[in-house]
Amino acid sequence: MEDAIVLYSTPDHLNSFTCLAKFIAKRHPSISVVVFCTAAAPPILAAVPSITFRRLPTPALPPNTTYDILELYFETPRLNNPIFRQVLAEISRKSNIRAIVLDFFCNYAFQVCESFNIPTYYCNTVGAFGVCALLYWPTIHEKTGGELGDAVEIPGCPVIPSADIPEMQRFPQSLSYKHFLDTAINIQKSAGIIINTFYALEPRALEALTNNLCTPNSRIPPVYTMGPFIDVDSAKKNDAVECMRWLDSQPSKSVVFLCFGRRGVFSAEQLREMAAGLENSGCRFLWAVRNPGAEEADLEALLPEGFLERTRERGVVLKSWAPQTEVLSHDSVGVFVTHCGQSSLLEAVWFGVPMISWPLYAEQKMNRIFMVEEMKVALPVEAAEDGFVTAAELEKRLRELMESRRGKEIKRHVAELKVAAAAATAREGGSSLLALDKFMAAVTRV
């Protein structure tokens, strides 16, 4: 029987799990990797012979039951446990499953994995600081009952204002809070934790994890830093994309790239304010605009009157989508205005692009603190209580990053981390390669 490793992902994290599968397959092609998800298979997996993809059906929700989006992330895999069990049994008849790696949101599959007596690992895509917060949360809950004060102190992390803690961790009566606690407890019982990061990016958080500071009541399982999970192949230049041809004509490190992920939707008022900030800054820019009606709306109607004409010599505005990895890899891009998602953060570091952090939802406000205070790869935009950012604030931060001494320090540090990221994943003795080999030695041990 061939040896196999099973990766079980939710659709939101499938890109990261795909990169992890490819990382394993490239270094250890003799072992089969099976990727489970309710989403369609990413095309790039078809090119790797040792990786197979199994699409699970989306389960029907119980009648007369509604879930918010976070609850649904956890509930969908839980409701799929019977199917997961069935397919796992099918694979077990043909392959020796050495390990199962669960997405954070697939936590309730842990009991299925235990019933098969297969070593089960968790893959956390939010970075080491996020893992510190997750694993320490049962301790916080024990001390506070979930009633937070003005700020939260977590080992390995800077002090985090309670308002910047993700919503699921702030409401102890919610189902999402229960899911979060259950996940933290199961991770401590798992065979190990795979983290989408590399050592040079988050040394303090990783030291806190490995020294058991975040799990004072139990011993932490082994930690494997195998990141960054980045699809470098998608960064290959594509001249068919018009914005890439425009970037070719711009000076090195001169363009500000604004892109906020699939859910980075802004009101028309905020878009107009962003446009004014860009225009006043005098910067070259490439901007992916998302608005609830952006697909149908005319950009002229969404943005200030005459904006596109006045800035056409130094800016490009795209409706909804931009090839982010490809753009960040381009030499003309010098600043990335980002929503602070972990994948976006890692892509920017990989290509050596300093950032302006503009968090929108989930763990992104917490990520901003790490990016600014610990990693020192970004400047923050200051928002009003309702999240609104003025044109003057955006202009100020763009000028600061482009022109100030602090901006130069951030650029220098990001350039150093770019080298460290490449060394971690590609050079013999790199931290991520060592972590992968350590993980594979553990899962293939007879």
CA 113/CA 119 separation, integer angstroms: 8
Crossing angle (nearest 10°) for helices 405-426 and 431-444: 40
- Known catalytic residue: 13? yes
C-beta separation of 209 from 219 below 8 A: no
Phi, psi of 160 (to 5 degrees): -115, 120
Q: How far apart are CA 16 and CA 433, in angstroms?
A: 17
User: 363, 132 in Cβ contact below 8 A?
Assistant: no
93: its two tokens: 């008849």
Which of 12, 28, 103, 339 is catalytic? The answer is: 103
Pairwise CA distance, residues 388 & 268, whole Å? 12
d(CA 288, CA 271): 11
Preceding peptide of 359 cis, ω within 30°: no
Q: Which residues pair with 287 in a beta bridge?
A: 258, 317
DSSP state of 28: -
Strands 120-124 and 192-195: parallel
Rounded Cα–Cα distance for residues 23 and 17 (Å): 10
- Angle, to 10 degrees, between the axis of helix 128-144 and the axis of helix 203-210? 50
| CB 348 within 8 Å of CB 342 | no
Q: Say if CB 132 and CB 152 are below 8 A apart.
A: no
What is the spatial distance between Cα 380 and Cα 409, in angstroms, rounded to a whole number? Answer: 15
Rounded Cα distance, 297 and 267, in Å? 13
* Catalytic choice (13, 28, 330, 339): 13
Instruction: Specify the residue for token string 């970004």.
Output: 378
- Cα angle, residue 262 at apex, residues 257 and 265 outer, rounded to 5°: 80
- Residues designated as active site: 13, 103
